[in-house]
Amino acid sequence: MKLRWFGHSAFEIISEEETRILIDPFISNNPTCKIPVEELKADLIFVTHGHADHMGDAMEIADRNKALLVGTHELSVFFSKQGLESEGMNIGGSLKFDDIKVTMVDARHSPDIDFTDEIIPGGSACGFIFQLEDGRRIYHAGDTGLFTDMKTVIGEIYKPNIALLPIGDRYTMGPEDAITAAKWISPQKVIPMHYNTFPVIEQDPTIFKETLEKETSIEVIILGPGETYKE
C-alpha cells in the first residue's frame, strides 16, 4: 500500500492490487502542492464535503480518467448534473469496489458547495474508512471538530490502523483536540493533515508528534507535500 500526501487533505492511496484512490484532491490551487494535476491518475475519487479546498480538482480528474466520484447523496447528485460518473452514499453506509470496502462516517463540519455563484447544499460533511484488500484500514477524517463517536464508533467498531487527522485549527480540530482524537481512535499510526496550506492554519506538526508519541504508543508520521508513506 502506498499513501501519498499532496498537502492539505489531499491523499492518494494505491492499494496492493493497484487500485488508485484519491481523496479530496485539492491540487491546482493548493499552494503547497507542486505536482501538476495532469499527472494524477485515479480509479476512484472520494470527496468529504463541498468546500473548494476539498472538491478541488476532483471533477476535472474524474472527467479525464473516467474515474468514479463518491460522496454524499447530495454531492453525487451535483456531480451527476455535471455529466460525471458518481455514486452517492451516506453516514454509516458502505460500498464495495472489488475487494476494497469504503464506509462513510460522521464529521462535524459545514458541508455545502461553496465555489458556485450561490452556495449549494451538500448534505453532510463526512469522513471515510477505507478497508483495503489485505484488511488494512485507513481513516480519513475530512474536516471535523472533535466528537465522541471517534472513540465509540470509529475507534471501537472500525478500528483503523492509520488515521489521517486535521490539526490546523480554526476550521477543524487544532493539535490539542487532535491528540485527544488520536487517543480515542487509537490507531497504530497517525498522519496529520489540513495544516500549513495557508497562514490561518499554520501549525508545527512536530509538537503534535512529540506529545502524542510521549503519551501513547501511536506513531506519528509527518509527510511533506508530495511525499509517500509505504507499508
Nearest to 53 by CA among 33, 83, 77, 76: 33
Is 140 a binder of Ni ion (CB under 5 A)? no
- Is the distance from CB of 111 to CB of 49 less than 8 angstroms? yes
Q: From the CB of 127, what's the least distance to Mn ion, in Å?
A: 12
Is 106 a binder of Ni ion (CB under 5 A)? no
d(CA 123, CA 165) in angstroms, rounded, equals 21
Q: From the CB of 114, what's the least distance to Ni ion, in Å?
A: 8
Q: Residues 28 to 57: which contact Mn ion by CB under 5 A?
A: 53
Segment interacting with Ni ion, rule: CB under 5 A, options 21-29, 46-54, 58-66, 86-94:
46-54
In terms of residues, how long is the chain?
A: 231
Q: From the CB of 9, what's the least distance to Mn ion, in Å?
A: 6
- Residue from 12, 74, 143, 169 in contact with Ni ion (CB under 5 A): 143
Q: How many residues bind Mn ion (CB under 5 A)?
A: 2
Is 108 a binder of Ni ion (CB under 5 A)? no
Residue 105: count of CB within 10 angstroms of its CB: 23
Helix (H) or strand (E) holding 74: helix 73-81
169 makes contact, choosing from Mn ion, Ni ion, none, with CB < 5 to 8 Å by partner type, with none
Q: Which residues contact 152 (CB under 8 A, 6 or more apart)?
A: none
Gyration radius (Cα) of the chain, Å: 16
Q: From the CB of 131, what's the least distance to Mn ion, in Å?
A: 25
- Sign of the Cα torsion 24, 149, 100, 95 reads negative
57 makes contact, choosing from Ni ion, Mn ion, none, with CB < 5 to 8 Å by partner type, with none
Segment interacting with Ni ion, rule: CB under 5 A, options 35-43, 136-144, 155-163, 179-187:
136-144
Applying CB under 5 A, the residues found at the interface with Ni ion are 51, 143
